[in-house]
Amino acid sequence: MDLRSFRNPKLVRQVVKDLSEYRNEVKIMEVCGTHTMAIGKWGIRKLIPENIKLISGPGCPVCVTPSSVIDELINLEGVTIASFGDLLRLPGSIGNLEQARAKGLDVHTIYSPLEALELSKQKETLFVGIGFETTIPGIAYTISEAHRLKLTDFSVLSLGKLIAPALDALLSDKQIEIDGFILPGHVSVITGTDAYSFMPEKYRVGGVVTGFEPLDIVVGIQKLLGQMTRPQIINEYSRAVTKKGNQNAQAMIERIFEVSNAFWRGLGKIPSSGLIIRDEYSQFDASKKYGLMVESPEVSLAACQSAPASVSNVSANCRCGDILKGKIIPIECALFNSECTPDNPLGPCMVSSEGSCAAYYLYERGYQ
């Protein structure tokens, strides 16, 4: 196959032509922020027939992190905070970590959790462990290393979230009608496609794991449409994803974490969708070490909608919660591209480079 074939316009057009033979109205949700960006970038929403609606789900770890986390971190004293860059601009009720850094809070942007571990050899460090299954194994390994090295100045705020339980929660919500899912490519490298087998079994809804190129995505949609009467999970990203996933990585997660309920901004409490650090490693649990209350239901469940604008950087009219559930698309928010832009984000969906509102802003502002 030609190296460029995943973007070959002829091949893409051929698949799109086939899609036009499908007459029913369908709603397909993509749950990965990278897919959201790819769909916007390649103009796929405009390319495919109107009866096939693509909507964005909760696929960005920053967007689903409760703002209470930021408030708790900003109030900490005497500890260095290490985090992935995207989290720095997430608004809390008293500003974001970037602003706090300008005022003197010691905040480091890192690429790997292992950098936080190194940092802790010089100064007491708290690593903010956000991410889905792609990122969680590395966080787990870092904790096991801290344990092996008997480090005392390292801790992790465990905010990792699991995608499959979130899909289960979305599918069990009767108000949300989704006919099929474009499943996340790199999360599935770890989980394997078996993680999604409950979808057709329990809800009679199928999904396709696919890559991030135009042909990947349109072929994924085509395959999804082809299985509507007999839903199943299809692997269109076999160049990186297997049925069982990476079992070494899964074992590492299992060793360090136990599954717990978790609060997702906009979605609320989802059973068995979070991870807490096992007792054996509790000396590295930042929520215990610093008494952080990051899972306060009032704050988390409120999402961004109910935070009073006067005391918060998060607008009272932000509709991020509805966007994460696929109830509306970003342009239906009254603040989109007026008061809320990537330079002045009012809600989490605009903050992260992979948030739905940021993707729409970048690529689809004129699209209705």
Partner 1 sequence: MCIAIPGKLVEKKEDDRGIVDMGGVKTEISLVFIPTVKEGDWIIIHTGFGLEIMSEQDALNMITLLHEAKNSADY
Q: How many CB atoms lie within 10 A of CB 226?
A: 14
Give the contact letters, 287-316, x = binds to partner 1 (CB under 8 A), - = no.
------------------------------
Partner touching 6 among partner 1, ligand SF4, none, CB below 5 to 8 Å by kind: partner 1
Binding residues for ligand SF4, total number by CB under 6 A: 15
- CB-based closest residue to ligand SF4: 347
Answer for the pair 39, 54: CB distance below 8 angstroms, yes or no: yes
Partner touching 96 among ligand SF4, partner 1, none, CB below 5 to 8 Å by kind: none
* Part of the chain binding ligand SF4 (CB under 6 A), chosen from 72-80, 95-103, 251-259, 345-353: 345-353
Dist. CA 139–CA 277, nearest whole Å: 11
The three-class DSSP label of residue 92 is: strand
Judged by CB under 6 A, the chain residues 294 through 323 that form the site for ligand SF4 are: 315, 318-320, 323
Answer for the pair 85, 58: CB distance below 8 angstroms, yes or no: no
Partner touching 330 among partner 1, ligand SF4, none, CB below 5 to 8 Å by kind: ligand SF4
Would you call 77 exposed, middle or buried from its count of C-beta atoms within 10 A (0-12, 13-18, 19+)? exposed
* Part of the chain binding partner 1 (CB under 8 A), chosen from 43-51, 164-172, 218-226, 245-253: 245-253
Dist. CA 274–CA 355, nearest whole Å: 20
Closer by beta carbon to ligand SF4, 32 or else 349: 349
**What Cα–Cα distance (Å) separates residue 286 from each residue in 96, 111, 138, 248?**
19, 20, 17, 25
Which of 58, 92, 137, 266 binds partner 1 (CB under 8 A)? It is 137
Would you call 202 exposed, middle or buried from its count of C-beta atoms within 10 A (0-12, 13-18, 19+)? exposed
Partner touching 41 among partner 1, ligand SF4, none, CB below 5 to 8 Å by kind: partner 1
Which of 58, 92, 184, 330 binds ligand SF4 (CB under 6 A)? It is 330
- Give the pair of three-digit tokens for residue 75: 């109030």
Length of the chain: 368
Which of 16, 34, 267, 333 binds partner 1 (CB under 8 A)? It is 34
Residues that bind ligand SF4 (CB under 6 A): 315, 318-320, 323, 330, 333, 335-336, 340, 346-347, 349-350, 357
